[in-house]
């Protein structure tokens, strides 16, 4: 395994394509594609650092290729190479995130210099991201420890383990406990995201009852639901539904979705369901609310980190916009699926499907055996 950067050369003309490969190959790992669709497939399979792309190609044009590559990874650098040089094409390429622009026939030293500078910019951006991620993780970790102590002591006070409380003291401590819990959830979501970004993620193995887990999680929100006069409907089976998965991750998924439902439902009802899927292969959890809802564009945006329906400083709902992002990534990590159906003013319906045995453990186990066991 070498430390050379991976460069993808995209050009429908064989001559320029092979010339670029010969120029770059002594210094980098070079891949080639003669069609736009092929280039997009390669980017999905190989960690590409830089792409050179011809703007004028049959089928998927270079600008569309550049756009799709940037959607996959905005930090991939790009150099636009074309035989149809003009200010318009240059501006068009830069608009979609190209590092620079060069005409055919190109100068060898010029192209090597451009590639070197583009890769230096990519490495600088990745390093900055790493530093930000490490800083965020360290700060979040340092905040979590004392906050956990605060939450623990408030819990003891609320349960009158230390001494009796007046009604007024009880109400004040309930608010402290609720808000401290929300802050702790925010910090946990930040830590989940930094673990994802760092690739520092392990799959635990626990056998537990999903029905009991749901029932326990719901208790945390009984006070705020009562205060908001939001009705809670629990539609849970009387029997256990046991799965083998990572309990902490399943709990985080469900808590994030339930927290969103509580936050965005000012009045009405929240319904929680847990059942086996019709084909017997999965456990399904549903969180249904009659809250503010979202349109399709907002749903897609909410799956991106730090996105909120209202990002203004005077927004009605607090939070970092990490709940749905973390929930979906954790669900996919466990081999499951998360689906959202929502309409403005008509509430949101989220369905999580999780395998009875988390993906990493299910490779050598027949699904028929799992269904029999349950």
> pLDDT above 70 covers what percent of the chain?
80
Greatest mean pLDDT among 14-23, 191-200, 309-318: 14-23
Quick one: pLDDT at residue 316? 45
At 224, the pLDDT band (50, 70, 90 cuts) reads confident
The pLDDT tens digits of the residues spanning 26-63 come to: 999 999 998 888 898 999 899 999 999 887 777 787 77
Q: Once rounded to an integer, what is the mean pLDDT over residues 82-100?
A: 66
Residues facing 273 on adjacent strands:
235, 286
| pTM (two decimals) | 0.54
Query: Which residue(s) pair with 103 in the sheet?
Result: 82
Q: What is the band of 359 on the pLDDT scale with cuts at 50, 70, 90? A: low
Residues 6 or more apart from 84 whose CB is under 8 A from it? 55, 56
| Cα 126–Cα 23–Cα 109 angle in degrees, nearest 5 | 80
- Rounded Cα distance between 239 and 341, Å, is 28
Q: CATH topology for 206-373?
A: Heat Shock Protein 90 (3.30.565)
Q: Round to the nearest angstrom and report the end-to-end CA distance of the chain.
A: 45
**Residue 297's pLDDT band (cuts 50, 70, 90):** confident
pLDDT 10s digits, 252-265: 899 999 988 988 89
Q: What integer pLDDT is reported at residue 293 of this predicted model?
A: 87
pLDDT at 211 over 90: yes
Tens of pLDDT, residues 78-90: 988 876 555 566 5
Q: Which two tokens stand for residue 147?
A: 């906050």
> Where does 6-106 sit in CATH, by number?
3.40.50.2300
Q: CA-CA distance, 124 to 105, in Å (whole number)? A: 30
- Tally of CB atoms within 10 A around 61: 15
Write the pLDDT tens digit of every residue in 121-168. Answer: 998 888 877 776 666 667 666 777 777 877 888 878 888 877 888 888
The CA distance from 248 to 202, in Å, is 11
Q: Which pLDDT value is given to residue 196? A: 67
Whether pLDDT at 318 is above 60: no
At 128, phi and psi to the nearest 5? -65, -40
Closest CA to 9 of 86, 98, 79, 109: 79
């Amino acid at each position: 395994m070498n430390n050379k950067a991976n460069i993808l050369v995209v050009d429908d003309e064989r001559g320029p394509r092979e010339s670029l490969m010969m120029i770059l190959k002594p210094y980098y790992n070079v891949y080639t594609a003669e069609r736009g669709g092929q280039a997009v497939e390669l980017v999905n399979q190989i960690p590409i650092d830089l792409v050179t792309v011809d703007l004028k190609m049959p089928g998927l044009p270079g600008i569309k290729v550049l756009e799709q590559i940037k959607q996959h990874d905005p930090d991939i650098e790009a150099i636009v190479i074309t035989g149809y040089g003009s200010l318009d094409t240059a501006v068009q390429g830069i608009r979609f995130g190209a590092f620079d622009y060069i005409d055919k026939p190109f100068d060898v030293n010029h192209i090597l210099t451009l590639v070197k500078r583009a890769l230096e910019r990519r490495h600088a951006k990745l390093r900055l991201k790493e530093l930000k991620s490490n800083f965020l993780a360290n700060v979040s970790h340092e905040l979590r420890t004392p906050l956990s102590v605060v939450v623990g002591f408030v819990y003891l006070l609320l349960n009158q383990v230390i001494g009796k409380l007046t009604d007024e003291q009880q109400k004040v401590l309930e608010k402290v406990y609720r808000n401290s819990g929300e802050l702790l959830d925010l910090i946990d979501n930040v830590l989940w995201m930094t673990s994802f970004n760092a690739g520092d993620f392990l799959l635990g193995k626990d056998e537990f009852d999903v029905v009991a887990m749901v029932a326990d999680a719901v208790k945390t929100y009984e006070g705020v639901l009562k205060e908001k006069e939001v009705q809670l409907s629990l539609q849970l089976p009387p029997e256990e539904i046991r799965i083998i998965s990572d309990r902490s991750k399943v709990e985080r998924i469900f808590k994030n979705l339930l927290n969103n439902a509580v936050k965005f439902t000012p009045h009405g009802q929240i319904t929680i369901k847990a059942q086996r899927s019709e084909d017997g292969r999965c456990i399904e959890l549903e969180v249904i609310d009659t809250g503010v809802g979202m349109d399709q564009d907002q749903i897609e945006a909410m799956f991106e980190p730090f996105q909120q329906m209202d990002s203004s400083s005077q927004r009605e709902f607090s939070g970092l916009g990490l709940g749905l992002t973390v929930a979906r990534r954790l669900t996919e990590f466990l081999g499951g699926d998360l689906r959202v159906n929502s309409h403005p003013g008509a509430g949101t319906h989220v369905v999580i499907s999780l395998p009875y045995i988390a993906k990493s453990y299910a490779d050598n186990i027949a699904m028929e055996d799992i269904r029999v066991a349950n």
